[in-house]
Amino acid sequence: MEELTYGRAALLHAYVAADGGNGLGDYGSESESYDGALRAHHRAMLDGLQRLFAIELTFEGMPDQRARVLFMLFRSTAGSLNRLTTPWSGFLEAGLLHRHLDDTGDAGARVYEASHRIATRTDENRQDHLAILDDLLTVILGERAEARFTESDLRALGIDPQPPDVADFDDLDGY
């Protein structure tokens, strides 16, 4: 089996996930311990990938003025991505809500239709944010933008590239 590799997209994912997560972090499992372990994993991945790419994704870590200026937009775009929500974003289990909404007839149907449109546009918005972040990161990384690293490279730094397994956490209700 071929060893997985990690490139610019993995660095971008780790940055956004470690920054707050809702854009890519998969937080919200109703388990504080799992979410904490997942956040720690994303931070460790970010640390390891930054070392491998020889960059620190902070304002102070930028190599020159142009990169610092571009990093301000990068940081702002990542924050914006992590704030994207829909009216349904906070619900892990919405069965009761669906039942009551279904009982409202036409009004409920309009809510579902509008919700679908919002979700579609939010996904498009998310993809546009990621495109901006990737373009900015490509410029910031310069000649390192196409670099690829292996699981072995990460493990050599003491980083386990595998995220925590949700099955290992006892405090998850309904999982």
pLDDT for 167: 80
pLDDT at 161: 95
Task: Give me the pLDDT at residue 171, please.
Answer: 63
Check: CB of residue 166 under 8 Å from CB of residue 34: yes
Q: Which of 149, 141, 166, 156 is nearest to 71 (CA)?
A: 141
Tell how far CA 49 is from the center of its chain: 15
Q: 79-94 pLDDT, tens per residue?
A: 999 999 999 987 878 8
Please write the tens of the pLDDT for every residue from 150-170.
999 999 999 999 999 888 877
- Which of the residues in the chain have pLDDT under 50? 23-25, 174-175
